[in-house]
């Protein structure tokens, strides 16, 4: 099923009451300290995994647009935000990132949860879902990196590796690759800060190692409903790329298309992303899953 959302400027009815309180905690997993933001009590818990260069803050506007009692768990992935960073760039494989999230879910005692992954976080979520962790009820992939290896010439890989080294580099990435809509000044400043703050190993691992992992064969083991959210103007993981490089490896995923939106859809179109997630959760709660339309 494919659906198209054209207007993100009106908040879905019943969303975004703005009355919930978030708490920040530190959770120890796999010998690391992960910074985690939590909110709400009503399950299933939504576990949000951010993009390469982001942090838990990437999802703030999406979470604000969801019902205030919705349980949300937003970790800074290892090496990003306020989470601890292992040295070097060989500790940021998909398996490493996924193991952190699996351990976090266990530590928090999440009996029923949905993985929501954006870009790099989407590829991590794919691998984790393929391992069929206990309590996993669904998978939402937002502008996700495809499961196959990223094929780029050496010069392009080197450009990615250094893109977040300077403010000018981050600004160029925002303007020429990451967005199709103009970000609010405060949001743009957040993106710059998060990108620059990342640990050197985390910054270099994705373009040189992690993005080049091939997990296509594993996706056949995903046994939960899946929703894919894609922007028509995404220049990183385009709609065409997802149609050929991701959807054939999923079992009849529900594709939602956001008109005029680029790669940073949680920041460019948070209400539309939240609306898709809320609809997905509602179908899970109704027992119809995401594949029923």
Please provide the DSSP assignment of 39-98 as one string: E--EEEEEEEE--TT--GGGGHHHHHTS-TTEEEEEEPPTTSTTS---SSSSS--HHHHH
pLDDT of residue 142 exceeding 50? yes
What pLDDT sits at residue 89?
A: 86
What average pLDDT does the structure give for the chain?
A: 92
**CA max distance for the chain:** 49
pLDDT of residue 292 exceeding 50? no
- Domains (range + CATH), the chain: 2-286 (3.40.50.1820)
Taking residues 12-28, what's their average pLDDT? Answer: 67
User: Could you tell me which residues come within 8 angstroms of residue 176 by beta carbon, excluding any fewer than 6 positions away?
Assistant: none
3-class DSSP state of 276: helix
Question: What is the percent of the chain where pLDDT is above 90?
Answer: 84
Taking residues 49-72, what's their average pLDDT? Answer: 97
pLDDT tens across 168-192, in order?
Answer: 999 999 999 999 999 999 999 999 9
Which is higher by pLDDT, 290 or 112?
112
Taking residues 112-122, what's their average pLDDT? Answer: 98
How many whole angstroms separate alpha carbon 174 and alpha carbon 134? 37
pLDDT confidence of 13, banded at 50, 70, 90? very low
pLDDT confidence of 201, banded at 50, 70, 90? very high
pLDDT of residue 81 exceeding 50? yes
pLDDT tens across 221-238, in order?
Answer: 999 999 999 999 999 999
User: Could you tell me which residues come within 8 angstroms of residue 12 by beta carbon, excluding any fewer than 6 positions away?
Assistant: 65, 271, 274, 275, 278
What pLDDT sits at residue 134?
A: 95
pLDDT confidence of 3, banded at 50, 70, 90? low
For the whole model, what pTM was predicted?
0.92
Strands (E) in the chain, as ranges, are: 2-5, 22-29, 32-39, 42-49, 70-75, 113-118, 136-142, 226-231, 254-258
pLDDT confidence of 95, banded at 50, 70, 90? very high
Reading the block at residue 58, the tokens are 């990437």
């Amino acid at each position: 099923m494919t659906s198209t959302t054209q207007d993100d400027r009106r908040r879905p009815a019943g969303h975004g009451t703005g009355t919930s309180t978030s708490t920040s905690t530190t959770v120890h997993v796999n010998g690391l300290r992960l910074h985690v933001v939590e909110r709400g009590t009503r399950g299933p818990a939504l576990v949000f995994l951010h993009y390469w260069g982001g942090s838990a803050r990437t999802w703030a506007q999406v979470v604000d647009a969801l019902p205030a009692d919705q349980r949300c768990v937003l970790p800074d992935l290892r090496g990003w935000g306020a989470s601890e960073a292992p040295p070097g760039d060989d500790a940021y494989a998909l398996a490493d990132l996924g193991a952190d999230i699996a351990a976090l879910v266990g530590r928090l005692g999440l009996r029923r949860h949905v993985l929501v992954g954006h870009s790099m976080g989407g590829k991590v979520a794919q691998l984790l879902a393929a391992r069929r962790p206990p309590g996993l009820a669904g998978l939402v992939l937002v502008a996700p990196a495809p499961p196959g290896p990223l094929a780029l010439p050496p010069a392009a890989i080197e450009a990615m590796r250094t893109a977040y080294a300077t403010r000018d580099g981050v600004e160029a990435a925002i303007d020429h690759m990451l967005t199709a809509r103009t970000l609010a000044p405060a949001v743009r400043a957040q993106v710059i800060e998060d990108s620059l703050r990342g640990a050197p190993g985390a910054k270099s691992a994705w373009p040189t190692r992690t993005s080049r992992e091939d997990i296509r064969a594993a996706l056949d083991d995903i046994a939960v409903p899946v929703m894919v959210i894609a922007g028509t103007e995404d220049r990183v993981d385009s709609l065409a790329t997802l149609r050929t490089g991701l959807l054939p490896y999923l079992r009849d995923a529900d594709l939602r298309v956001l008109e005029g939106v680029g790669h940073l859809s949680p920041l460019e179109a948070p209400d539309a992303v939240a609306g898709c997630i809320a609809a997905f959760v509602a179908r899970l709660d109704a027992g119809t899953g995401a594949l029923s339309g």
